[in-house]
Amino acid sequence: MLLPFPPGGGTDGLARVILPRMSQVLGQPIVIDNRPGAGGVVAADLVAKSAPDGHTLFMGSSTFVAATPSLMKLPYDSLKDFAPVTLFATAAFILAVNPQVAANSVSQLVALAKAKPGGLNYASGGVGSPLHLCAELFKSRAGVNIIHIAYKGGAPAATAVLAGEAQMIFGSFAASLPQIRAGRLRALAVTSTARMPLTPELPTMIESGFPAFNVQAWNSLEAPARTPPGIVQRIYSEAAKAAFLPEVIDLMNKIGYSPANNTPQQYSEIKRTETAMWAKVIKDANIRGE
């Protein structure tokens, strides 16, 4: 199982939660192979060019799978050179602001941004990161001008909002929730279609006046193209079993993730839809990969 990120990140953490259980139900070991490099392209390219026998798989993240094709030239076709297996976990983001910002709701934040065009900054974990793209989608839907400040990761971006260098962030649950509960950040909404179990008091962006605003990080499994459908179906079935084991659900929930159960066909459609959505956001915002 090739991962496009180094050990210690969210995707790596999920892999180490779910793959041992998946190994048990498959009846054979699964080796995690962290291959960071070129923004994740190194790992994906290796899988795209591997034998389509089900023994070499790729664990991707939403931004890498759906947004990277619009940010840089790739040595493979992200839609044609992989056989989608499943989308097995999702995680929403939290829209949060520095407590000094005079906004207690999304509508108040939009009104403030419209009253002061260019007067607010938002922090992200870097150009093309989930936090960046989510904020640009918000800007487009709200019709506001908020300035982007890129940091080297989600944690430094959250720290910048705490310090007042930036006023808002679409942050992960893992990075944001402790600061929100400590009163150092004010949460306004979540980006999922339904309220999250960890924060039932927070409205969704949809409830806050943004129809169809559903932005979630997700993790998926892919095989090389031309992998036989029977093998793809077997891997999907065993991954679904592992993702819904009670101990796996508990571990996922603790870091703001929820298990998903998308068939290869369903995941293929999600991948195409989100690739098109982020391509438009990236083009409209004139975002260029770094």
Structure tokens at 213: 């605003």
Give pairs for 251-254: CB < 8 Å, separation 24+.
251/17, 252/14, 252/17, 252/89, 253/197, 253/198
The count of residues in the chain is: 290
All structural domains of the chain: 2-90+215-284 (3.40.190.150), 91-190 (3.40.190.10)
- Which residue type occupies 72? M
> Could you report the per-residue pLDDT of 132-163, keeping only the tens digit for each?
999 999 999 999 999 999 987 777 888 999 99
Local structure of residue 39 (DSSP, 8 states): G
Q: What's the pLDDT at 290?
A: 63
- Which residue type occupies 156? P
Angle 76-81-86 (CA atoms, 0-180°, nearest 5)?
Answer: 125
Measured distance CA(282)–CA(179) in Å, rounded? 30
> Could you report the per-residue pLDDT of 67-101, keeping only the tens digit for each?
889 988 999 999 999 999 999 999 899 999 999 99
Angle 174-268-9 (CA atoms, 0-180°, nearest 5)?
Answer: 25
The arithmetic mean of pLDDT across residues 233-256, rounded, is 89
Measured distance CA(218)–CA(183) in Å, rounded? 28
* End-to-end CA separation in angstroms for the chain: 26
> Could you report the per-residue pLDDT of 103-132, keeping only the tens digit for each?
999 999 999 999 999 999 999 988 888 889
Whether the model pTM is above 0.85: no
- Please list the residues that pair with 220 across neighbouring strands: 60, 87
Question: What rounded mean pLDDT belongs to the chain?
Answer: 91
